[in-house]
Every structure is written in structure tokens, then in C-alpha cells.
């Protein structure tokens, strides 16, 4: 059942094209007399307690079936080419049945030197979190919290109040950085405040505007009753704005609806320390259209010239306006 769901999520994510992000509401101030040459620009970034060449990473998607093993292999090859960090999809299917472990471990096989991120949900016990990390020899762990997806899924979870205690126990026990993420409905100020009280130091707001799991679960459902909920949640921009205060105390990462290099730069200007990308990368690797990813990365550097910034940490000085 879970394995079939993995394939369906990929299938529907690839079909879905009606959702647009609100990144076009953010306007960065153009600078017409650059202080740097293109080669002077550095995209070096620091997040999840680690130094990276680039501020973008492949966010959690797949694993758990034969088809997604192949997708994970392609994503890992792409990650290796660009030295990107990469998260795998939820590993519960393999925690419950070891025959699915290979579909996750393939990422470590292809990308032995990579910074890899495990993924579990907040029902996971400490023991399960540790097994997920060991399965791919992960450098960090994501825990996804996704009540809107679960509630709109026919077979989804209906029990949530234990999640906070599970997160706290895992954060206290595992030896790698723990990143709490949504799956496209955003983390609000209040949610992040609760997470901070549980000891969390890294969050990915993963807001609305890209892959939409309410739409996907509704399409999979036999009842199709959640059209009205498709716009539920905070957009990535709204979540970043909502959490400005928290950026002083913890690391906020952005994802959800990132489709252009300009979206990445805007998220970084709004205070994100790194940017996760799922749907856009999935489409590119499934179409074998890897040149768009080369161009995407090349253009990040060009955009730094247009806002007259040499290094990622200086993006916080870029002026911007937000239209309604």
C-alpha cells in the first residue's frame, strides 16, 4: 500500500501544474553598477552545521518502490554532479519492510561522499529515527509534519498530539542535526515557536506554491471532497515573513514552489539559510532535461551580480518590496 502510494505521489506530482507561487510578489532592488565580476561571486553556504558549495538542496521525495529506486539513482547522480545535499523520501516503508531499504540505500551507493538527509514522520520512535539514519548513513535527519496532507488522505493519520513529544525525544537522542519540515503547507510563527521549545534548531518552512499534497491526495481519494482546501496553508513567502523573528534564534530553510533561480535568491534575501527544491528537480530528471539544472545553478551567480552581492551571507542586505 505504502509502496504504491510512493509511485502515485510521483505520478500526480508530475501531472500537477496549476499551482503558482507568490514569489512574483517580491521585488528585489536592481543595481546597475556592479562591484564584482561574475568570477568574484561565491555561492558558498552554511546550513545544517555544514559548509556547502551551493545554497540549494534536493528536498525529500522518493524511495520505497522499484520505480522510485530508479528515480533516487537519477537524483543522486545529479546531486553528485553539483555537490548538492540530498534528502530521501519518507523511509517508513523500509523501516517496516527491509526489502525496500535498497531503494533508499542506492543514494548512498551512487553518492558515497554526499551530504544525505534521512526522512521520517513524527510518529517515528527514537529507534526508528536511528534506523532511518543508519540505513543511508545520513548526515542529517528530516522529520516531516503534515497534518493537512494526512487529514485529506483517505488512509492518513488521525492522531497528532504525540508528535511534539516524539520530535523532542528524537532531537535529544540522535547525533546528527534534525530538520523539521512541512510538505507544502508552511510552518507558522506559532508552530516554529513550539518547535523551538522542543529543542529544534533547524526548520524548513516548506510552504504552499509548488507541489500541493491536498490536490494530490484529493486526486488519489475515492471521495474527492477537498477541492476547497487546495489553498490551505502559508505560502513560502508568507511563512518566511511570519518567521522573521525566529531567524535570530534558529536556522530557517525555505522550500515550496521554487522553480527559478530568482525564487532561490528571493528566499535567501528574506532570510532563509538554504533552499530546498523537489518538484522542479523531479520534472527535470524525469525528462532527462539536466541542462535546465546546469543553467539554474549558473544563473544564481548572475543574479548575485544584479543585486550587487558577492557572497550569500550578504544577501540579507538586499532591499526589497512586496506587492499585494
The residue ranges that bind ligand FMN (CB under 6 A) are 9-10, 13, 59-61, 89-90, 119, 142, 144, 181, 183-184, 206, 210-211, 255-258, 277-280, 282
Distances (CA, A) of 284 to 86, 119, 179, 274, 298: 15, 22, 25, 20, 16
C-alpha span between 290 and 313 (Å, rounded): 28
Buried b (16+ CB within 10 A) or exposed e, 283-310: ebbeeeeeeebeebbeebbebbbbbbbe
CB of residue 3 to ligand FMN, shortest distance in Å: 12
Cβ count within 10 A of residue 109: 12
CB of residue 211 to ligand FMN, shortest distance in Å: 3
CB of residue 31 to ligand FMN, shortest distance in Å: 28
Closer CB to ligand FMN, 281 or 309, in the complex: 281
Closer CB to ligand FMN, 114 or 276, in the complex: 276
Closer CB to ligand FMN, 183 or 315, in the complex: 183
CB of residue 269 to ligand FMN, shortest distance in Å: 18
Closer CB to ligand FMN, 55 or 89, in the complex: 89
Q: Grid coordinates in use for 237?
A: 513567502
DSSP, res 154: T
Closer CB to ligand FMN, 72 or 90, in the complex: 90
Residue number, nearest CB to ligand FMN? 210
Given a contact cutoff of 8 angstroms between Cβ atoms, the answer to whether 186 and 239 are in contact is yes
Given a contact cutoff of 8 angstroms between Cβ atoms, the answer to whether 241 and 37 are in contact is no
DSSP, res 47: E
Closer CB to ligand FMN, 41 or 150, in the complex: 150
C-alpha span between 51 and 107 (Å, rounded): 20
Given a contact cutoff of 8 angstroms between Cβ atoms, the answer to whether 88 and 72 are in contact is yes
CB of residue 305 to ligand FMN, shortest distance in Å: 25
Helices 2-15 and 279-286, interaxial angle, to 10°?
90
Closer CB to ligand FMN, 77 or 311, in the complex: 77
CB of residue 59 to ligand FMN, shortest distance in Å: 4
Amino acid at each position: 500500500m505504502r509502496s504504491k502510494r510512493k509511485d502515485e505521489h510521483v505520478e500526480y506530482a508530475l501531472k500537477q501544474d496549476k499551482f503558482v507561487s507568490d514569489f512574483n510578489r517580491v521585488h528585489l532592488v536592481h543595481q546597475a553598477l556592479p562591484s564584482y565580476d561574475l568570477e568574484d561571486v561565491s555561492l558558498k553556504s552554511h546550513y545544517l552545521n555544514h559548509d556547502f558549495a551551493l545554497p540549494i538542496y534536493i528536498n525529500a521525495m522518493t524511495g520505497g518502490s522499484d520505480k522510485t529506486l530508479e528515480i533516487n539513482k537519477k537524483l543522486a547522480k545529479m546531486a553528485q554532479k553539483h555537490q548538492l545535499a540530498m534528502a530521501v523520501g519518507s523511509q517508513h516503508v523500509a523501516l517496516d519492510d527491509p526489502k525496500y531499504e535498497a531503494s533508499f540505500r542506492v543514494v548512498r551507493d551512487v553518492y558515497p561522499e554526499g551530504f544525505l538527509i534521512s526522512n521520517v514522520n513524527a510518529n517515528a520512535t527514537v529507534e526508528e529515527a536511528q534506523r532511518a539514519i543508519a540505513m543511508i548513513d545520513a548526515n542529517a535527519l528530516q522529520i516531516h509534519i503534515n497534518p493537512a496532507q494526512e487529514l485529506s488522505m483517505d488512509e492518513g493519520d488521525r492522531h497528532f498530539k504525540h508528535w511534539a513529544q516524539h520530535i523532542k525525544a528524537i532531537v535529544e537522542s540522535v547525533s546528527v542535526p534534525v530538520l523539521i519540515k512541512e510538505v507544502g503547507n508552511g510552518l507558522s510563527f506559532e508552530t516554529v515557536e513550539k518547535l523551538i521549545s522542543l529543542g529544534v534548531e533547524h526548520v524548513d518552512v516548506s510552504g504552499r506554491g509548488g507541489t500541493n499534497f491536498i490536490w494530490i491526495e484529493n486526486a488519489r481519494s475515492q471521495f474527492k471532497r477537498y477541492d476547497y482546501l487546495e489553498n490551505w496553508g502559508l505560502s513560502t513567502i508568507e511563512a518566511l515573513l511570519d518567521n522573521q523573528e525566529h531567524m535570530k534564534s534558529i536556522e530557517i530553510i525555505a522550500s515550496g514552489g521554487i522553480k527559478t533561480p530568482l525564487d532561490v535568491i528571493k528566499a535567501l534575501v528574506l532570510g532563509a539559510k538554504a533552499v530546498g527544491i523537489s518538484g522542479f528537480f523531479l520534472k527535470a530528471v524525469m525528462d532527462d532535461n539536466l541542462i535546465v539544472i546546469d543553467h539554474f545553478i549558473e544563473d544564481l551567480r548572475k543574479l548575485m551580480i544584479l543585486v550587487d552581492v558577492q557572497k550569500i551571507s550578504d544577501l540579507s542586505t538586499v532591499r526589497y518590496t512586496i506587492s499585494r
